[in-house]
Amino acid sequence: MKTDKITRESPKDVLRAMQPNSVVLYDATSFGCTGSEETLLLSEKTPWQIHSLADLRLRNKVASIRWNINEGSIFKLFEHQDGSGWQLSFSGAGQMPRLESDGESHEIAGWGWFTSDQFIKKKTE
């Protein structure tokens, strides 16, 4: 998958604008909104599970993203609702103004968040 280069604002600027451990998905590039903008508060969903975007009206419409992920956590977008296909991973704080190539948005149907604590726990079990 080809995407534009990730741009990063100062973490202080991102933190001022966003809640901790949150992601904002936009249905237009450069963080515009043509109808749907969704804020995901990761603590409201179970980690280590794939969650559908169908309920958010953004399935296959995500065009840009901003994130403020707590240290030790990773946020992922998935091509398919079951977590298969290509995926993008995000950590820290930043933004990606364009999740499209050739003028078309990529299909994004699922998302999930993962913590390193759980990874270590699962690996040692």
Q: What is the rounded average pLDDT of the residues 64-79? A: 92
Among the listed ranges 6-10, 57-61, 69-73, 95-99, which one has the minimum average pLDDT value? Answer: 6-10
Looking at domain 11-124, its CATH architecture is: Sandwich (2.60)
Which among 42, 69, 41, 58 has a CA at the least distance from the CA of 109?
58
Q: What is the pTM of this model?
A: 0.76
Supply 26's token pair: 């936009």
Q: What is the mean pLDDT of the chain?
A: 78
pLDDT band (50, 70, 90) for residue 10: low
Per-residue pLDDT, averaged over 45-58, amounts to 86
Contacts of 37 by beta carbon, 8 Å cutoff, 6+ apart:
24, 25, 26, 27
